[in-house]
A and B are shown apart, each in its own frame.
Chain A
Amino acid sequence: MPQVAADIQRLKKIAQELRVDVIRILTEAGSGHPGGSLSAVEIITALFFHKMRHRPDDPFWSDRDRFILSKGHCTAIYYATLAKAGYIPQEELFTFRKLGSRLQGHPYPGPPDRRVPGIEAATGSLGQGLSIAIGMALAGRLARKAHRVYPLLGDGECQAGQVWEAAMLAPKYRLDNLCAIVDQNRIQNDDFVERTLSLEPFRAKWEAFGWHVIQVNGHEISEVVQALEDVEGVKGKPSVIIAGTVKGKGVSFMENNPEWHGKAPTREEAERAVQEILAAPL
């Protein structure tokens, strides 16, 4: 076990650094979505720095696992991750949301002759990513490839009808190469999910649609890692990991506050946030 423990410790350190990056690039951009980026840090860390088979130096490697950011507004954590993994230069992060940047406010893979490494699909209109992921999972099966597809959804996003069209379909095709992850941070643009439109019983809904469901604490990297391992043993049906998270996780004044869904911190707020993140025990 010591090796596993060491790896978890490595991932926690990466997560901490990514949180700092999220704050810094959003502050530089002057706009964006901190809450849902901070809630997804451990999920994305576990995927990109542990579970996914991918080659940042060969980004279009055909056997790579695919990641789709269906909750497309959370580009801050996505781009920070792509930079740390080596897909894009670190300094490019500070072009985020600025004119001429490849790093659009919401993910854009670029035109065919200038695809952006690490970005599989355009998203940002909520509800569309799971369908695209199903298409990629079907494509993998048609090509007899073993790669897996990991779409990341928000819980508020699951109010969109297309999510349930897709949820209904994936079990029909027994897509066990598909593992959806829901970042259940319980806050959406206007308010708490529960006060806006309840999704409960959330787990039972996915189960009723024919999915294998695992619920984890989305900030416990060891739990996320374990769930990602476990779903590989599930055959004949798609899996969904419902990751319970805290919106704005790691920055006390952002945590659980709908105000921080879609605004950037001031420089002073950012400094406080970074100090808090760095002071937190790993």
Chain B
Amino acid sequence: MGGKATRVAFGEALLKVAAKNDRVVVINADLGKSTNTVKFVEKYPDRSFNVGVAEANMIGIGAGLALEGWIPFICTFAIFVAGRFETIRVSVAYNHANVKIVGTHAGIGIGEDGYSQMGLEDIALMRSLPNMSVIQPGDAIETERAVEYIVEHEGPVFLRLTRQKVEDVNPPDYRFEFGKGVIVDAARGEGRDLTIMATGGTVHNAREAARELRSQGLDVRAVNIHTLKPIDEELVLDSVQRSGRILTVEDHGLHGGLGGAVCEVVAERGEGVVRRIAVRDFGESGDPVALYKKFGLSIDNIVAEAKKLLKTK
């Protein structure tokens, strides 16, 4: 895997936004090296706090700072965000506290550390909270633009990032639009046969799968859903109207993630079939590329699942 990890892009973007906005503060829970906030801490020690291995306390402190007008980025692994769900529910969401919750190490893409460190349920949980927005960028440039947006956004946001490097999927002049899906390779493919929707670490593979299917004569387009909540309902409906079919691909558990969100829209407002590629069962240790293959997130498997879906009426 080439490119840059979105957690690395986040660390760089954070420095840039902090230089412009002195309300930005960072709270770590002993994972600053992993979440890439170390440079921020070095540069802005007065605006940095490390609470130790105590995520619930970190969340509450973030809420307190936000209620006083600061813009705290509280940073840990996505799974440890999920683990403190009810603290986020009351201290952050119910308080309408302007806290930016950063969860790195999304999904099986983290590799060797195994299931206990893999964020696989976090989108489902964060999506369920009133007042919480959920963003998962698909590459470095999108991460940078998303962080710029998040600082200005009023209200709590969950930002989900990859440990592993991800290939660029957006052009250098990319503009981030909150709540709007992005058709990747926009000029090629109308999606008359199928739309593949992906998010985060799987966008690149979804794009490559769409290219492969197009090379076989099928009209397939790939869509990057960087904002999982609020999801781009119009784009989902447009996609299902074009072909009657959507294939979703995500490095997250099967329930309540991108696939779940798309199903909700199609079931309520559209007509068609949704097939979900997501992580079924527990993850496990291994090389990220091998894991993506085993759990069905590889280009080959996306192509195979797309073909199965195309056979349905």
Chain A residues at the B interface, C-beta cutoff of 8 Å: 108-109, 111-112, 120-125, 127-140, 142-143, 161-162, 165-166, 168-169, 173
Contact = CB atoms under 8 A, between A and B. Distances in A.
7 contacts: A125-B87, A131-B57, A131-B91, A135-B72, A161-B56, A165-B52, A169-B52
B91 A168 contact: no
B65 A125 contact: no
With a 10 A CB-CB cut-off, give which of B46, B57, B72 has the most chain A CB atoms: B57
B70 A166 contact: no
Contacts of A124: 90
Nearest to B72: A135
Interface in B45-70: 46-47, 49, 51-52, 54, 56-70
7 closest A-B pairs (Cβ-Cβ)?
A135-B64, A131-B60, A139-B68, A165-B57, A165-B54, A135-B61, A132-B64
Main secondary structure of the interface of B (DSSP, over half): helix
Contacts of B49: 138, 173
Nearest to A104: B94
B67 A165 contact: no
A112 B154 CA distance: 10
Given A112-B96, A123-B90, A142-B25, A135 B63 contact: yes
B113 interface: no
Nearest to A166: B57
Contacts of A129: 60
Contact of B57 (A109, A121, A162): A162
Nearest to B59: A131
Nearest to B99: A135
Contacts of B46: 142
Given A122-B95, A169-B52, A134 B60 contact: yes
With a 10 A CB-CB cut-off, give which of B54, B72, B89 has the most chain A CB atoms: B54
Given A122-B94, A132-B67, A162-B87, A138 B60 contact: no
A162 B90 CA distance: 14
A165 B68 contact: no
Nearest to A167: B57
Contacts of B86: 125
A126 B70 CA distance: 24
Nearest to B66: A135
A169 B54 contact: yes
Interface string B74-97: 000000000000110111001110
Contacts of B57: 131, 134, 162, 165-166, 169
A131 B56 contact: yes
B91 A122 contact: yes
A112 to B, nearest CB: 5
B168 to A, nearest CB: 37
Nearest to A137: B64
A120 B67 contact: yes
